[in-house]
Each structure stands twice: as C-alpha cells, then as structure tokens.
Structure 1
Amino acid sequence: MRFFLLPVSTRRTLLYCQRAPAIPKKQTISERVQSKAARTWADWEKKPGGWQKLVVGYGNQALRRIPYEEWGLKSVPPLSTARKEDEQAGKVKVEVVYPKSLVKAERVTSILHTLSTGRESLHKKRLVLCFLGMPLTIPVAIIPIAWSHWRALAGGRHIQFLLQNKLITPVSSPVLDQVYADQDHPLPSTAEPTTTKTSANLPESPIIIEHPSPEEAPNYPGGETLLLSQENAQRITRLLGLPQLEVEIERAIWQVETAIAAQNSEKDGKASEPQPEGGAPSPPPASVTEHDKKQ
C-alpha cells in the first residue's frame, strides 16, 4: 500500500492511497458492491447520450463539490481484522511518497496525522445527522452521504493505526520534485488563506498545512498560492502510472482554484466600496483579531 502527499497549494495537501495489488482472496460484500458500482459508473460515462449519461453528468458535478480531503480519506481502505494482522506482521509494506522539495521528511508523519484527524469530528457529526434524518426524509438519498462520511472516518482511523504502530516508511520522489520544479509560474494566488463551503452552504475551514515556497516565490507568501496546474497534474498521473489519480488531483486543484478566485473576488468587492468623506479608509473594528482575519 502506498500513500501520496501532493501539495496542491502552499497551504493545502492532497492525500491519495494506492492499494497494493489484490491478493486472490474472497472479496467482502462491501468491496464487491464498490467494484460493481465503479464498473457501472464507468460504463455509463462512456455512453454517447441517454439518461445514463445525464445521470453521470449531474452526479459528477455533485461529487466534484465534496471536499477533496474527504475523497483522500475515502481512498484509504478500512482497517479489517485481516488487514490489521497483515500490517502488524510486516506482510504489507506501507510507503508515503512525497516531493522533498516541498515536504520535509520529518514532517511526513505529522502531515498524515493532521489529514487523518483534522475532519474527524465533522464526519462524526455529519454521520449522526444522517442517521437522525433518515426517518424524516428519503433514506435512499441519505445512505450515500452517510456511507461517504463513514468511509472517511474509517480511512482516517486506518492512518492513525499505522502512525501509532510506526508502520509507515517515507519515500521521497524525484519524479514529483521534477514536476513541481517544471511548473510554470505565476499560478493563481490570494493575499489571505482561503476557506471552503460545503454543499449545505455551511462554512468549513480547510486543513491548513504550510509548505516551503518553491524557487519561484509565490506572490503572497503569507496567503495562498496554487502549486499545480491541471496540465502538470495530468503529467504526474502519467509519470506515476496512476490514471485513477487524475480525477482526484483535478478535483483538488479545481476546489482550491475556485476558493482562491472567490477570495480575490470578495476582496475586490470590498475595495470597490465607497470610502467615507475625506478619502481615508475607516479603521477596522477593534474586535477583529489576527485569528479572525485568517478565518
């Protein structure tokens, strides 16, 4: 099993888990259901038209708005009893691949810990709300949402188990370093950290993980700068031989880029507001703290 830590911006990182080649064992019911659903979805995407293609189109738009942090945790397999025993016995090698030009080796485990625990309380809360809401609405519509939160929780707990038992081996990747070094700059930037919003329009702070700046210094070192373009994201998937990773990186870049654009638009809107007479801008309220500004 192999984890990938891919900095998307100077403050955000994508986690992706590549599972080890399946050993010829009997699949669990959940694994069979997931495999069947994935094949069906892929077949529908290839159709030239019809209701299946329409469903896939709307579905992909909705899936694209699920935070990429949640998708990253869902890529990690749940910790079954058999998998736990194999990992503790050393039968499964667990590596974490990262670009050393942006991620320091000694920070790999702390980044994994942050990514695995940063949204844990949110997923627990949403899972409970899903169960409470089932009697009040259509259960079939809530089941996929509840399943998504459960999978994210299970993936995070699996990572925590690996960290607690020191079963992870960091491995720097020259391939990733080269891709990031070849990235043309400037990319979209914002002077302040961004925030994201859930599909329910509730404020949701991103998991912030600061990275050293690349040689091409970002426009706003104290804010947030995109580190990957869609073109280089595709290059990563080709060089790593992971076509299934492409949609994950594309989604993460789109979400961060959208957040940066929204942040800049909001800032421009405030700047265009009429100033009080005398031309001098009004001082900020005394109650606004530096912590508030970062939210």
Structure 2
Amino acid sequence: MRLFLLPISTRRSLIYCEKIHDKAPKDRSIIDKVTIKANETWAAWEKDQKAIWDWKKKVTFYGNHALKRIPYEEWGLKTLPSLTAQRRQAIIDGKEKYEVMFPGRYLKEDKLPGILEKLAKERQLMHRSKLMWSVIIMPFTAPFMLIPVIPNLPFFYVLYRAYSHWTALRGSKFLEFLLKHNLPKPTSSLALDEAYTAGLMYPTRQLSRAAPKPTEEQADEVARVVAQQTNNDTEDVMVLQRWNGKLIAEQFHLPDMEVEIERAVEQVEKSIKSKEELMEEKLELEKATGTAGERAQDLLPDHITEKIHEEAEHVAEEAKKQAEQGVKEAKVDAAEKKQGN
C-alpha cells in the first residue's frame, strides 16, 4: 500500500493514502453503503434545479464552503484505512508492505519519522473529544425534524462531523500502529521531485504540462532557492501550487488526490502569508533556472507557448458557449415556471 507525504510548505505536509480497491456491493459494510448513498445524494442535490426556492443547490453551495473549512490534516487522516484485527495481524506478521513516497529534494528523509509521528498522535485527543460532543449534540437537533419539506440538516451535519472525526481518529491510530512496527518504508520519488520543480518553475498548469521535464540541475537549483527563502528555517515557504495537484494526481493515477492537495494548499496559503508575498516568492522561483532575470517560461520554444495560447483561447471559447447556454436554459426554466403559475 502506498502512502504519500506531500509537503505543502516547508513546515506543513499532507498525508494521503492510496485508496484500496472498491469492494463488491455484496461485501460492503452498512457504513460503506450509507457513505456511498450520501455522496450520490449530495451530487444529485448540486444539480437539482426543481426544488422549491432552489434549497437543494443552496444547501450544497454553503455546505461545500463549510467542508472547505475542515482542516486538511483531518481530510488526510480520513484517507487512511481502519486498523482491523486482520490488518493488524498482517502488519505484525510482515505480510503487508507499506511505503511512504515523498519528494526528496523538498522534504528531507530524516524529517519523515517526526512528521509522521506528529500527524499520527497530535490530533487524536481533539478528534476523540469532538466525536464525543457531536454524539451528545445529536439529540438536541431533533426539533428541526418538524420543519416541512426540508430534511433535518442540523442533525445530518452533526452526524457527518461525528463520522468525520471517527474516521480521522481511526486513520491516526492506523498510522501510529504502522510507526510502532517501523513501517512504512520511505521512498524518495523522482516523479514527485519533477512535479514539484515544474510547479515552481512555471506559472500555470498548461505550461508545466507542456514543458520538458526539469533536469536534475534545475531541480537542485529550485530546491536551493526554496531553502534560501526560509531564512535558515525561520520562515514558512510554499512549495506546492494549487493547480499542481491535478498533475501529481494524474502522475500516480489517483484522481481523488487532486481535491485533497487543492484544499490543503488553499488553507496553508491563507494561514502563512499575504498574496503579495506569495507572488514575490513564486516569481523568484520561476527565475531560479533562467538567465539574466528571465523566467523558466521565457526559455520555452515558441511552438510550446503558441500551443498553450491556442489551448487557452479554446477553453475560453468553450466557457463562453457554456455560459450562454446556461443563460438560455435559465430563461426557458423561468418562462415555464411563469406559465405554470
């Protein structure tokens, strides 16, 4: 099983566990079935345009904003599996292999044990306490059942938070058990080094995707500039871009990883520095592998940059068409509702 330790900044990292293959419907637990059903319902609500006062779309809109505020550390721990008796014995017997992949140029291997132990133990007490309080609060949400049409949203929110704290606590205990048995095995990933370096060298996903892979010399230079920006480890510096999450997820064929990275980057960016400071640091990194003040993107061949511009124009045109179609559909719906009244 592969775990990923992804530095978001020079001081904060996201843990992500590769998902175990989905179970067959007959082998799913009640919790698995309820979770799948809840996800399907939420996705359907996001698209529903027929509910009275559009309450379903409003609930999902504000609900998604609330979910973004859940700490990325909690989301990361939730990706870890539960420590079942069978898995516990397999770990003790050495029958299951675990490795933790990380970008070696941007996260030193000797720091891994401390980071993993902190992720495993630091939040256990908090998740246990909040799980208990969520369960205590649930009965007090019962009066909201009397509201017609709309379901008992406070109850389902508290239920979800209880489930979220439980899965995060479960994941932290799994990670703690792995560390007690000297697992997982650290594996420095060249692919992650390249993805991080490209993300710091170029300003957009399109340029990063189209450009040649960074050389080892370029990766070393960018990593050196990052270390320099920390001012002898006294400052926290971003090393991962939000848009780069998609490229890393594609690299390892893990689509669910994208949203986890984007959420973590957004939260860390907001907490450490102003937008202006982040832009200044990013520009310095883009110039790290250039010459005479040029950025890495300025050194790309013309055919690559022309291709990027063509793709950007195509995307903009498609977005414009979709927006126009959405306006037309909205007008038709409004007319139909007016006729119905």
- Do structure 1's residue 168 and structure 2's residue 177 form an aligned pair? no
Note if contact 1:70-1:152 (Cα within 8 Å) is conserved in structure 2.
yes
**CA separation in 2, counterparts of 1:137 and 1:52?**
20
How far off its partner does 1:253 sit?
Answer: 0.7
Of 216, 228, 231, which aligns to 2:225? 216
The yes-or-no answer on 1:100 pairing with 2:104 is yes
- For residues 261 and 254 of structure 2, the distance between their equivalents in structure 1, rounded to whole angstroms, comes to 11
More strand as a share of residues:
1
For 1:248 and 1:84, the matched residues in 2 are separated by: 27
Q: Is the 8 A contact 2:3 2:101 kept in 1?
A: yes
Structure 1 residues 132, 43: CA separation in 2 closer, same or farther (over 3 Å shift)?
A: closer
Mind listing any 5+ residue stretches in structure 1 that lack a counterpart? 188-212, 266-295
Compared CA separation, residues 241 and 141, structure 1 to 2 (3 A)? closer
Does structure 1 residue 113 correspond to structure 2 residue 117? Answer: yes
In the alignment, is the contact (CA less than 8 A) between 1:123 and 1:152 conserved in 2? yes
Partner of 2:41: 40
Which secondary structure state, in structure 1, belongs to the residue aligned with residue 225 of structure 2?
A: coil
Residue of structure 2 in register with 1:203 after alignment: none
Moved more, 38-47 or 25-34: 38-47
What is the Cα deviation at residue 23 of structure 1?
Answer: 6.1
CA contact (8 A) 2:200 2:239 kept: no
Q: The residue matched to 2:105 in structure 1 has which SS?
A: coil
- Match of 1:230, SS state, is coil
Q: Is 2:125 aligned against 1:134? A: no
Alpha-carbon separation, structure 2, partners of 1:241 and 1:97: 14
Alpha-carbon contact 1:2-1:20 (below 8 Å) kept: no
Partner residue, 1:198: none
The separation in 2 between residues aligned to 1:15 and 1:174, in whole angstroms, is 18
User: Contact 1:185–1:216 (CA<8 Å) still a contact in 2?
Assistant: no
Using the TM superposition, give the Cα deviation of residue 3 of structure 1 relative to its aligned residue in structure 2, in angstroms. 0.9
Contact between 1:77 and 1:154, CA under 8 Å: does it hold in 2?
yes
Q: Does 1:249 align with 2:261?
A: yes
1:284 counterpart residue number: none
The residue aligned with 1:15 is 15
Residue ranges of structure 2 left out of the alignment (5+ in a row): 143-154, 204-221, 278-341
Contact 1:73 1:152 in 2 (8 A): yes
2:11 & 2:177 partners in 1: Cα distance?
A: 25
1:5 to 1:52, Cα distance in 2 relative to 1, 3 A: same
Q: Deviations over 1:152-202 (max 9, x none)?
A: 111100111111122422221111111122233699xxxxxxxxxxxxxxx
Q: CA RMSD in A?
A: 2.8
Q: Secondary structure at the match of 1:214?
A: helix
Deviation per residue, 1:251-291 (Å, 9 max, x gap): 001101111346999xxxxxxxxxxxxxxxxxxxxxxxxxx
- Which one has the bigger helix percentage? 2
CA shift for structure 1 position 232: 1.8
Question: What CA deviation, in whole Å up to 9, does each residue of 1:7-40 have, x standing for no partner?
Answer: 0011100111113324657222112222232333
Inter-partner Cα distance in structure 2 for 1:147 and 1:18: 20
* Deviates further, 46-55 or 63-72: 46-55
Q: Provide closer, same or farther for how the CA distance between residues 220 and 62 of structure 1 changes in structure 2, counting only shifts above 3 A.
A: same
Give the equivalent residue in structure 1 for 2:68: 64
Superposition pairs of residues 270-285 of structure 1, within 5 angstroms: none
Structure 1 SS opposite 2:28: coil
Contact 2:16/2:76 (<8 A) preserved: yes
* Structure 1, 103-112 or 12-21: larger mean CA deviation: 103-112
Contact conserved, 1:68 with 1:251, CA < 8 A, in 2? yes
Aligned partner of 1:41: which letter?
W
* Residue type at the aligned position of 2:241: S
Distance in 2, Cα, partners of 1:140 & 1:12: 31
| Structure possessing the higher radius of gyration over alpha carbons | 2
Equivalent AA in structure 2 for residue 127 of structure 1: L
> Is the CA contact (8 Å cut-off) linking 2:10 and 2:238 kept in structure 1?
yes
2:5 aligns with 5
> C-alpha distance in 1, partners of 2:91/2:36?
23
AA in 2 matched with 1:173: S
| Cα distance in structure 2, aligned partners of 1:94 and 1:43 | 36
CA separation in 1, counterparts of 2:139 and 2:48? 36
> Could you tell me how far 1:42 is from its partner in structure 2?
3.8
Q: How far 1:59 sits from its partner (Å)? A: 1.7
Contact residue 73 and residue 156 of structure 1 kept, 8 A = yes
- Tell me the TM-score normalised to structure 2 length: 0.63
Q: What SS does the aligned partner of 1:11 have?
A: coil
1:54 aligns with 2:46: no
CA contact (8 A) 1:99 1:177 kept: yes
Residue 241 of structure 1 and its aligned partner are, at CA, apart by 1.2
> What is the CA–CA distance in structure 2 between the aligned matches of 1:233 and 1:54, rounded to whole Å?
27
| TM-score of the superposed pair, with normalisation by structure 1 | 0.72
